Chain A
Amino acid sequence: MSPLRITRIYLRMLGTHLRGSLEYEWDFWLMVFAAVLTQLVSVVFLRVVFTLIPDLDGWTFWPIVIMFGLISFGEGIGSLFFEGMWRLAYRINQGELDYMLVRPYPLALQVTSAEIGLNGLGNITSGGAMIVLGLCRAPIHWSPGLVLVAPLLFVSAMTIKVSISVTTNAASFWIQGPNPLFAMAVHQGGELTRYPLTLFPIALRSVFCLVVPFAFVGFFPAEFVTGGHALWIGLATPAVAAYCVLVARFAFRRGVLRYESTGS
């Protein structure tokens, strides 16, 4: 199957849930409200922190806003286009993957496109706003090179975020239960990476760089763009993204081999 065809069918399958989602208008606005509220709380927190101290380990307000924005934007993309992965645990538990396994379309993509999280629009807008505002207000030395590389880094960051979600949700093939608690726990852990990595002890830093590369979702790309010291590491983001995609693919495939369905 050509990538174009895969994408076209993907968008089509995503779209089939649009009607269903829009039916519950209250729920949609509630989710958007909750997402924006969460962003607001983090901004309030940041503001408070920066009224108390001039900088957080070398990071000033706007660069951190960029980092927060990157992470939120990634969340939003994940919710909008790949929300289905969070229901994988439930589907495995209920044996609902059967029909998907006999269709000529990649299983992982069928799973992720099975839900559309319109609340992601809330995160995308607030995250996007934070990135844009941050890029404008932060003291960045813009150069043609930077203008070209920055989008690449940001796209890679999104890819890493989604890959981590796929890999951790694939754990549901091994851990029983209708809720993707492992994935949720890792996701919560990832929330730590909203804050400058250098705040954390070396052990934690290595985990977020090498084990679950959340550091490459917000910190290193933001570092690179705002002219921080760990310049060269930021450039590794696309490579890390490729690696994460491979790991996700591997984990998912191994997981599918363990699928047991329900009934006899």
Chain B
Amino acid sequence: MRRIPVNHPANPVSVRGRETTTDKGSSSMALIEAEDLTKSFRQADKDPGLAGSLRHLVRRRYQEKLAVDHISLRVGAGEAVAYVGPNGAGKSTTVKLLSGILVPTSGQVRIDGLVPHENRMAVAQRIGVLFGQRTQLWWDLTVADSLSTLRDVYGVDPAVHRRRLARFDEVLGLGEILPVVGRKLSLGQRVRADLAAALLHAPPVVYLDEPTIGLDVGVKDRVRAFLRSLADEGTTVMLTSHDLQDIEDVCHRLVIIDGGRIIFDGSMAALKDEFAKERLLRLETVEPLDPQALRPLLPLTEVRQGEHPREVLIRFDRFKVTAAQVVAATGTLAEITDFRVDEPQIEDVIRRVYTGELLLGSGAARG
């Protein structure tokens, strides 16, 4: 299913000193390039009520709403990028700018060297898009007919199409929903069908905007596994999602956007390492242990009672204290029967970025 990315001769191959690495090694060709990309929307500034409307008739006032504020991004072939941010941060707007749906107010965007809104047809062959909240399937057609029509539009050879459908069936269970009419699809079925629709022409770049929204766990797992395999095969994947588990499972690079600006752009692992210095150690003791007694022994940690008197939780910075030290200290007070170390979740880290707890500074490779 892998398609060789198109080499555009005019596109200079360069790598700016960037910390981004992928498991396939540093990619030297930027498939997606955004430079100082900005998009602002004009909204009418009106007072409420009839009087306000009449006043607006006479004197118009407009407000500029900056949705995307000078973002710069380079994504190489085969990268799997997560694009994350709170609601209204500008994620969907960015995806639309990168796919040519919106025209930038200023700045540049190039997909495989082409400007999307000037080369729509050419760029369309190179990208696949999935908007989780909308379907591109025809309401009155079966999934099979919808996909067949799209096959025609994209100019995919019928034999190749059949093979791809078989692959989708293997991985997503597409076969069972092929005969279902568009309007009768359940949400999970619809997303799977839309995924097939986005990929049936094997584009080298794929944008997925909230692909797992509203799906149940089983389908989510299947979709994530599929996206992982896509990324492994060299397709460039750009994923925006509120479900941080999606991101952790599929992507290696994380870009965080807030208020229209990129506040972090780097590898997921680096982020975890850099900021998720915490570990949480759960210890179970034979006899109940009073946290008060433990605290003076472990000054750099936070000690709490667990779910029951014989469990104690210790949160610590692993660069300052080691798990071994914590266990040893606790062992002097009580006999330990069980312990568990909880790794940092990217969810927690990102949540703390959103809430402002974690301010990203010079440590992160800036976007």
A interface residues (Cβ-Cβ under 8 A, vs B): 1, 9, 12-13, 16-17, 19-20, 23, 96-99, 101-105, 107, 256-261, 263-264
Contacts and interface: CB of A to CB of B under 8 A. Distances in A.
B147 to A, nearest CB: 12
A105 B153 CA distance: 7
A258 B42 CA distance: 11
A264 B93 contact: yes
A1 B140 CA distance: 27
A9 B139 CA distance: 18
A193 to B, nearest CB: 33
A260 B102 contact: yes
B117 interface: yes
Nearest to B128: A102
A261 to B, nearest CB: 6
A103 B102 contact: no
| Interface size bracket, B side | 35 or more
B152 A102 contact: no
Nearest to B68: A264
A98 B149 contact: no
B187 interface: no
A253 B139 CA distance: 27
B102 A261 contact: yes
Nearest to B129: A102
A176 to B, nearest CB: 9
Contact of A260 (B41, B124, B125, B149): B41
Contacts of B124: 102-104
Contact of B100 (A1, A16, A20, A102): A102
B102 A20 contact: no
Interface of B is mostly: mixed
Contacts of B102: 259-261
Interface string B112-145: 0000010011111101010101101011110001
Contact of A102 (B91, B93, B101, B141): B101
B153 A103 contact: yes
A103 B149 CA distance: 12
B158 interface: no
Contacts of B134: 96, 98-99
B138 to A, nearest CB: 5
A20 B142 CA distance: 12
B301 interface: no
Most interface-central of B96, B99, B121 (chain A CB within 10 A): B96
A17 B140 contact: yes
Given A260-B41, A263-B92, 9 more contacts: A16-B140, A20-B139, A98-B131, A99-B136, A101-B99, A101-B100, A102-B101, A259-B103, A261-B101
Contact of B138 (A16, A260, A261): A16
A259 B101 contact: yes
A100 B250 CA distance: 27
6 contacts: A99-B131, A104-B120, A104-B122, A259-B102, A261-B96, A263-B133
Contacts of A20: 139-140
Contacts of B129: 98-99, 102
A101 B101 contact: yes
Given A16-B140, A103-B153, A104-B153, A257 B99 contact: no
Contacts of B150: 103
B109 interface: no
Contact of B152 (A9, A261, A264): A9
B88 interface: yes
B149 A104 contact: no
Contacts of A9: 152-153
Contact of B141 (A16, A96, A98, A260): A16
B149 A13 contact: yes
B90 interface: yes
A249 to B, nearest CB: 14
Contacts of B154: 103-104
Given A16-B138, A16-B140, A263-B92, A102 B153 contact: no
Contacts of B127: 102
Contacts of A257: 103, 117
Given A16-B145, A99-B136, A104 B152 contact: no
